[in-house]
Amino acid sequence: MKAIVIEQTETKPAYHNATLKDVPRPESLEEDQALLEVSAVSFNHRELWIRKGQYPGIIFGSILGADGIFTEYYAARQEDIFKAPDHLTDAEAAALPLAGLTAYRAVFTKGQVAQGQNVLITGIGGGVALMALAFCVAAGANVYVTSSDEGKIAKAVRLGARGGVNYKEAGGELFDVVIDGAGGDGVKTFTQILRLGGIIVSYGMTVKPKVDFTMAAVLRNIEIRGSTMGSRLEFEQMLDYVSKHKLRPVVSQVWRGLESAEEAFEVMKKGSQFGKLVLSLKSASKL
């Protein structure tokens, strides 16, 4: 079977190869495993960080993707198999798990977003931010977004956002919750546009791995809450919520075959996508 294998290179800065190879198909399954034929896979920034040598515990020679899913067949534990919501295409189902889980925990478990609240989602265009937008809109919140790309803001408005915000110039206590994946200096500004007792949910640090959280924010009872992925229970809750509200992950582009992985990596490096990047592995996939 075909699979994308991560192979070490000596280039500086590091950018390891993601090579299409023939590898043995899983044959000897454990009692609690099932063999899955893979219809579609989606990219997360984790894959790019692995290639850049920025992710801990990289095992060279292994199949790319969480537990090696960039392959035609995959041996999964039966307890890890969940039915995809019926209304999703194969590409959307592939795009949902990590983005959906991360966004669900950030919005509901940590952000406690409720109907009528004002929510700011930063860096709209990534898979997590777009799923967070979908969850907040479904919950009845008033959602505003940020992006350096006006086109992405316009697309977010069509998905239910109230509009874009330049938070660096915004004044007043505008928001109840900020959902942020960037970190860095923006966090200090967020504390100045949050209402008393407001919440910053930080699910990523793509700009800088440090934040400036001042005593002034503490005195206004503002909280910053870390949020990374989620639990099995939250995953089940997320699937139920997606099914109930007929939500769809935004898919930016679909390529045919594992051999197209390098094209997807180039798009991800540029950050030009609006939504998830997906490879379709089956010609009959419901895309």
Q: What is the mean pLDDT of residues 228-242?
A: 96
Share of the chain above pLDDT 90, in %: 66
Backbone angles phi, psi at 152, to 5 degrees: -70, -35
pLDDT of residue 108: 98
Express each pLDDT in 102-157 by its tens digit.
999 999 999 999 999 999 999 999 999 999 999 999 999 999 999 888 999 999 99
Q: Model-level pTM greater than 0.75?
A: yes
The Cα-based distances of 154 to 103, 158, 163, 168, 274 in angstroms read: 21, 7, 8, 19, 11
Residue 267 has pLDDT above 90, yes or no: yes
Contacts of 20 (CB under 8 A, 6+ apart): 2, 3, 4, 5, 258, 259, 261
Domains of the chain listed by start with CATH number: 2-96+249-280 (3.90.180.10), 100-226 (3.40.50.720)
Contacts of 138 (CB under 8 A, 6+ apart): 241, 245, 247
CB 194 within 8 Å of CB 200:
yes
pLDDT of residue 55: 80
Least confident among 15-24, 103-112, 209-218? 209-218
Residue 66 has pLDDT above 80, yes or no: no
